Structures are given as C-alpha cells and as structure tokens.
Amino acid sequence: MHASHDHGPTPRRFLPAGPLRGRIRVPGDKSISHRSIMLGALAVGETKVTGLLEGEDVLATAAAMRAMGATVERQGDGSWSIHGTGVGSLLQPVTALEMGNSGTSTRLLMGLVASHPITATFTGDASLSHRPMGRVIEPLSQMGADITASPGGTLPLMLRGLSPAVPITYRLPVASAQVKSAVLLAGLNTAGITTVVEPVPTRDHSERMLRGFGADLWVEEEGGIRTIRLRGEAELRPQTIIVPGDPSSAAFFAVAALLVPGSDLVIENVGLNPTRAALFTVLRQMGGSIVELHPREVGGEPVADLHVRHSPLTGVAVDPALAPAMIDEFPILFVAAALAKGRTVTTGLEELRVKESDRLATMAAALTAAGARVTEQEDGLTIDGTGGDPLSGGAYPVATKLDHRIAMSMAVAGLVSQGGVEVDDTAPIATSFPTFQHLLDSATGNR
C-alpha cells in the first residue's frame, strides 16, 4: 500500500484551463466510508456498502479491520461486502496497523481497540507521525486503555485495550469529530453509558450511523451544547449503506467552476449534511451561484446535485462559528478568496495547524508563491483578492507537505493563473480523491 509515496514525489504543473462544463460525480464521502467499514466490521452478518471511497485512507481502515478479524472485500460490481466479528470480538492484530496519512483511521481505530482485550501498534507516514494523538490518548486512558506514545503524544504508539472498560463522561476540549467518535466507538464495548459533551457541534456521521446499525444512542441539545449518550455492550445489526458523494471533494470543483469564466457545471450526488456543508454557504455569501437541484436523502444523509456557474466573488469575513462545518475546505476557500474582489478575513482556525500539514502556513506560502496577497495570523489568513484577474502563477514548485488538500487547492489555483502552478507532489491526492486529476482534465476539456 501507499506505493505511490514510495517512488518519490510526482510533480505536475497545473496550467490555465477551462471552462468547466457538463456533469461530474465525485467519489464517496471519506468520513462515512471509514465509519461504514468500522461498524460493518463489528456487526455479525453481511454489511453491503455501495459508493465507498476507494482512497488510500479508507483502504488503510479496511486493512486494519481485516487485521482484527473482519472480512472486507470488494465485489465485482464495485460494491463492498463486510462480515464483522461482533462488538467485543476484535482479534489481536499480528503486525502493526499502518495508518498511512489518515488521522481519521488512527483516532477512530484507537477508540475501537481501547475497549477490547487486545494490543495494537499504530504507525503512520511522516505527516501523520507529527499529528497530536494526546487528544484521544486522554479520554481513552480515562476509560482504562494503556497507551505508550512517541514524544509529544505522536505515532508510532502502542495501545493496550481494557475489557471491561470504564464508561466516562467526556467534554470535548477541541471541536473534533474524530475525538468524539473515538470515545463513542470505545463506548460500544463498554458496559453502561458513555457520554460525550460537545460545546461546538461537529460532523455527526458517527451518531447517525451508530443509530442506523441499531445502537442505543440519543442526543440532547441545550444552548447549542450537544450531549451524546451511548449505551454500551451494543449488538450491531448489519446494514446496507449507500455512501453519498463527498462535499469536501466537490468543494474543489465548485470553486474551480465559480472562478473559471464560462463555467457551468453540475456536480451530482453531493452530501449536504449541515455539519459539513458550510463552504457552500460562504461561497454564496461571496456571490457564488450554487443551486441545489433535486434535494433528497441517501443513506440517512441529505444529498443534492449542485449546479455551479462562474460568478464574480467578493471577499467576506468568514464567521468562525462555521469553521467546524467546513474545516477541511479552508485551503480551497483561500483560493476562492485570492480571486475575489476585496478582502477575505478568516479567524478561529487554530485547528488547521494540526492537519496533514499546517494548512495556514502551507497555504500562505503556496498562494504567495503563486502571486496572491496573503497575510498569516495565528488563527487565520487575511487575503486581498485580485477581483477576478488571474494570479501570476509561479516558476517554482509549491510545497504541499504530504497534504492532499493543499495539492488539490493549488491545482485549482493553477487553472486561474497566467503561467500555471507547479505542485511539488500530486501523490497524496490519492489518499482522499484518486480520480481528481482525471475528473479535472475531463471537466476542463483537457482530455
């Protein structure tokens, strides 16, 4: 696995191109794909998943669940079939669980292992090995897991689970769906009620899917604070899951179509869970024409086709309260801001510094190199846009730091530049969106 990363970087210069026209479909949602494999792997019987994202991050989750006893197979028709072990019956993996570039795999699987009587070692690539795991080590240790991490609470780490584990009430100190999910997943094999208090709502795919698999989970909301309770020793029932298209992947095409003159694009089947869809709200505030066609429900999640047309954009001050619902979309929002008229101000984005790269520093450097006017603050970027004129582009490759979202964002910046933008390494794109370059080439007519 991760073969593309073992053969050195794969640079590419993204040249001015477009317009984007026609209809496209982006791959399945990454968050929902991870969770469908994990919960399927805990349900006795066959779970069927269609539309699964076949990106490296999700494949790392699939390999880990196999290593712990589940059967996870791709069928001839492209659907996935999972036969689970049952909650409480995960097996001790024989070798280290290789998490590659994936924070979601690591943190959620640490939760699962924490309440099983097994020991697992978690390893990751250079990017993941810098990311903070203390945020999950803390609550999982309270539940009884014994965790030995590398200095700074990083990978590689070894986790010895405890069964029976101790049910806890945990108030999230950071707005993180991964921490919330780690505690809830640990709660599945824990007698009693595990409670997570969420002062700021984050993506709720775990809650929706746990309920769908038959777990006893309920949510109270008071004054914007969500309290999620899960009754442990759950018996999960296998499900048929249809994974909607990933709004975080659609985001690159939505922004590209808004920015490239003459574009008129329909992105089909985009998941629009309100805990995920704030980028589209902000782009509309900036003047973007994004219309939701045929709103419907797919697999318990709201979905629509997005009709996006080229629009002149105006800078805005982005409400920091929206950040959790667009947390992975800031790199591409910064590209939109760089082409907008006037100033865009973002704040409250400290979390971006601990993603696959420090996304504030990496985007400030990359956009500046491409000719944009960017100022970096501790908790956000301020960007003075061109008013629609193309960026100059740059002669030298921009550093993407093993971060797929930086690579895709700067690819879109290349489309709206004079000289193109060279991305130093496109290989990480395969972690979340393996068909990105093919789709971009076909939507821009560069077949």
Ligand X SMILES: C=C(OP(=O)(O)O)C(=O)O
Ligand Y SMILES: O=C(O)C1=C[C@@H](OP(=O)(O)O)[C@@H](O)[C@H](O)C1
The binding site for 3-phosphoshikimate comprises 30-31, 35, 176, 178, 328, 355
Backbone φ and ψ for 13, nearest 5 degrees, come out as -95, 120
355 binds ligand X, rule: CB under 6 A: yes
CB 187 within 8 A of CB 145: no
Segment interacting with ligand Y (CB under 6 A) among 45-53, 172-180, 224-232, 278-286: 172-180
Buried b (16+ CB within 10 A) or exposed e, 196-221: bebeebbbbbbbbbbebbebebeeee
Q: How far apart are the first and last CA of the chain?
A: 28
Q: What's the closest the beta carbon of residue 83 comes to ligand X, in angstroms?
A: 25
Cβ closest to ligand X, residue 46 vs residue 358: 358
Quote the distance between the C-alpha of residue 380 and its chain's center: 19
Neighbours of 169 (CB within 10 A): 14
328 binds ligand Y, rule: CB under 6 A: yes
The one of ligand X, ligand Y, none whose footprint includes residue 301, by CB under 5 to 8 A per kind, is: none
Q: What's the closest the beta carbon of residue 348 comes to ligand X, in angstroms?
A: 17
Cβ closest to ligand Y, residue 331 vs residue 397: 331
Selection from 106, 231, 316, 215 nearest residue 206 by Cα: 215
Segment interacting with ligand X (CB under 6 A) among 64-72, 97-105, 333-341, 344-352: 97-105
The one of ligand X, ligand Y, none whose footprint includes residue 203, by CB under 5 to 8 A per kind, is: ligand Y
Q: What's the closest the beta carbon of residue 34 comes to ligand X, in angstroms?
A: 8
Among 33, 61, 101, 104, binds ligand Y (CB under 6 A): 104
Owner of token pair 């944009």: 372
Owner of token pair 């019987």: 45
Q: What's the closest the beta carbon of residue 57 comes to ligand X, in angstroms?
A: 6
Cite the beta strand spans of 243-320 per DSSP E.
264-271, 289-298, 301-309
Segment interacting with ligand X (CB under 6 A) among 76-84, 85-93, 100-108, 298-306: 100-108
What is the DSSP-derived secondary structure letter of residue 401? T
Token pair in block for residue 182: 């780690």
- The single residue of 125, 246, 328, 403 carrying the catalytic annotation is 328
Among positions 348-377, residues that touch ligand Y (CB under 6 A) are 351
Selection from 130, 112, 147, 126 nearest residue 41 by Cα: 112
263 binds ligand X, rule: CB under 6 A: no
Selection from 256, 217, 287, 305 nearest residue 411 by Cα: 256
Cβ closest to ligand Y, residue 203 vs residue 229: 203
Q: What's the closest the beta carbon of residue 154 comes to ligand X, in angstroms?
A: 14
The one of ligand Y, ligand X, none whose footprint includes residue 138, by CB under 5 to 8 A per kind, is: none
User: What whole-number distance in Å separates Cα of residue 207 and Cα of residue 211?
Assistant: 6
420 binds ligand X, rule: CB under 6 A: no
405 binds ligand Y, rule: CB under 6 A: no
98 binds ligand X, rule: CB under 6 A: no
Cite the beta strand spans of 61-144 per DSSP E.
71-74, 80-83, 97-98, 119-123
328 as an active site residue: the answer is yes
403 binds ligand Y, rule: CB under 6 A: no
Helices (H) and strands (E) in the chain, counts: 13, 21
Q: What's the closest the beta carbon of residue 395 comes to ligand X, in angstroms?
A: 28
Cite the beta strand spans of 223-323 per DSSP E.
225-231, 240-242, 264-271, 289-298, 301-309
70 binds ligand Y, rule: CB under 6 A: no
Binding-site positions read 30-31, 35, 103, 131, 176, 178, 328, 355, 359, 405
Q: Which residues bind ligand Y (CB under 6 A)?
A: 31, 104, 176-178, 181, 203, 327-328, 351
Q: Which residues are catalytic?
A: 328
Q: Which residues bind ligand X (CB under 6 A)?
A: 57, 102-104, 328, 355-356, 405, 432
